[in-house]
Amino acid sequence: MFLNIKMKIASFTQTYGDKRYLNLQLLQYDAIGNDFRNRCDIIVFSFHNCPESFVDKSTELLQQIYPKSKLQILIHNDVSYLESIQKSLLYLKGRGVDYILQIQDDQHGVNTMEIMKNMKNIGDIFKCLDRYDMDYLHIFENEGNKEYNRLTPKVEMSIENTKFYSYDSRDFKNVNIYAWNDGTYFAKIKFLEALFGIPNLPQDVWGLELALKAIFDQHAITRWGIDKIYFKASNLYGANVNTKISQEDNLKRFFGELPSWEKIRKMLK
């Protein structure tokens, strides 16, 4: 049973084009990712410049995975990446959303037996957001764990079994971590509105990420992190496609220990 959280939280995942259907199919088996999403009040999937047939096929799949009462499909055609994000934020603000949990379409829960033991602690994160005033809580890979990033937090605190660390965003460049990146994060919608509303930002995803990174490198912005790992990126498609290992070996890192692994393997053939 999920916690009674006062803050209204929406998960947000955006895809584009028509070549990334496998990322959506994998959601059927992502125990960790779906635990996070199902704790949210709204589960949003946004389609940026996608053909209607792809949106229809994907929507049918998503309706089989998530409660129809929570699932919301957004469609943004003939607009830039930045405009699509701005429009999504405007919509979610209108729905009374306080926080957004952003999970990129190629970011999956690391569903190993060891990491899945921490699923009982996911609620600690939602409790933290409900109790404390955090603009930006980054939970991608182990970037926020001081034992990994070797940074000195400004603040450390614990909620039950999870440790939370507050950092100065300017410090991340010293350890070769992007202070702002599109990894999995929770952020206040007001914080994101202000950020994506900065004048003269690049309109494309890559230029935008670099521009925001520069802002985080140069200005003292508080970035929170945790001591646990839940998500990584497969980079199955796009400019950062992982060519070092096979697609099967890549996805085995996320799903290989699940009983459903053989079903996933067959999807790759």
Answer yes or no: is 162 within a domain.
Answer: no
Tokens representing 180 are: 């702002």
The pTM of this model reads 0.95
Answer yes or no: is 253 within a domain.
Answer: yes
Residue 187 belongs to domain with CATH number: 3.90.550
pLDDT in tens, 217-228: 999 999 999 999
How many CA atoms are closer than 13 Å to the CA of 123, on its beta-carbon side?
7
Answer yes or no: is 222 within a domain.
Answer: no
pLDDT over 90 at 7, yes or no: no
Answer yes or no: is 174 within a domain.
Answer: no
Answer yes or no: is 193 within a domain.
Answer: yes
Domain that holds residue 248: 9-135+182-204+231-267
pLDDT in tens, 155-206: 999 999 999 999 999 999 999 999 999 999 999 999 999 999 999 999 999 9
Answer yes or no: is 209 within a domain.
Answer: no
**Amino acid present at 174:** N
SS3 43: strand
Q: Domain total for the chain?
A: 1
Distance CA 158, CA 97 (A): 26
pLDDT in tens, 119-161: 999 999 999 999 998 999 999 999 999 999 999 999 999 999 9
